Structure 1
């Protein structure tokens, strides 16, 4: 049995009016909560981060131009190298403390991989927006600036990122922390 019914006991004009009234009432009862564009792309970045093979952190980036994804990247060892999770990165597998022995880390960052993938496929990033699950480090900030990305939206702060933030701002790259506008229920926790 239906929740609503339209009785057809008059001419078509009356029927059409009744159907319109019914549909109008239904649409007022049902509000579809769509995520904002920032929530949408950040949720995609969070999903991309699940591909990371790094045993320390799962970080990813999504690069967007005109509300269309042009590249994605997640952190992990370079193509063709044993995965970090399989012992491929000496720094991560020797349990180095955060911020120490970074020169021994073989993992590429999510921002770096997204930018490199765009270059590999000949995609210009001029004027693009980069969504990343963690604010960029100094090296990634330099790559972001030189690739022409216009804005960086990040979800969490990188512990060593103050110089990176300063450099991005000095170069005219907009930088802002992402705050979920609606329900986080659009994304199932990673």
Structure 2
């Protein structure tokens, strides 16, 4: 069995979190990570203490259930409730953030968002670029990680590096 990438590992955990979603219109999970450590998780659900959509139905405005707090917002709120700093972190989410969740992520100091499935709003990509916030599909993130790992391997074994190691050995033996 091959080892999964860190991005896929954390996305798998986000998919597990989405199984807790109580809004049956859209199941979404999110995980906030910094330095390969999970800081917080979240899923789509109702306001703490209120009945869930799957129990009493939806509170619809247009085509959106407004009773639900999105997974990304819940993950940010859980971190805040527990006094966990998330600035400089990566958010893994099973669906790309809606506009409001994207704004929350940006203001909370999230520096990278990795999503599995595109959801509706492409404004987030334009604004992310302006903010310097990296937003990638899981496939893009894994491709970039493979390229970076390959470049690092090449640098470790570059001819100039091998030559300089050989020169050091020669100097030391004289």
Structure 1 counterpart of 2:20: 51
Aligned-residue CA RMSD in angstroms? 1.6
Structure 2 counterpart of 1:128: 89
Structure 1 ranges of 4+ moved more than 3 A: none
2:48 and 2:57 map into 1 onto residues whose CA distance is 11
CA contact 1:77–1:89 (8 Å) conserved in 2: no
Structure 2 counterpart of 1:163: 123
1:166 and 1:137 map into 2 onto residues whose CA distance is 13
- By how many angstroms is 1:167 displaced? 1.9
CA contact 1:137–1:158 (8 Å) conserved in 2: yes
Structure 2 counterpart of 1:61: 30
Does the alignment pair 1:72 with 2:41?
A: yes
Closer/same/farther in 2, CA of residues 141 and 147 from structure 1, 3 Å limit: same
Residues 138-158 of structure 1 deviation map (CA, whole Å, 9 limit, x = unaligned) = 101110010001100000101
Structure 2 counterpart of 1:151: 112
1:165 and 1:54 map into 2 onto residues whose CA distance is 26
Which structure has the highest helix share of the two? 2
CA contact 1:82–1:88 (8 Å) conserved in 2: no
Structure 1 counterpart of 2:169: none
Structure 1 counterpart of 2:161: none
The count of residues paired between Structure 1 and Structure 2 equals 141
Task: Normalising by structure 1, report the TM-score.
Answer: 0.70
1:61 and 1:152 map into 2 onto residues whose CA distance is 10
Does the alignment pair 1:141 with 2:110?
A: no
SS in structure 2 opposite 1:73? strand
Which structure has the highest strand share of the two? 2
Gaps of 5+ in 1: 1-31, 182-190
2:50 and 2:126 map into 1 onto residues whose CA distance is 33
2:31 and 2:72 map into 1 onto residues whose CA distance is 8
SS in structure 1 opposite 2:106? helix
Structure 2 counterpart of 1:178: 138
Gaps of 5+ in 2: 143-174
- By how many angstroms is 1:168 displaced? 2.1
Task: Normalising by structure 2, report the TM-score.
Answer: 0.76
SS in structure 1 opposite 2:39? strand
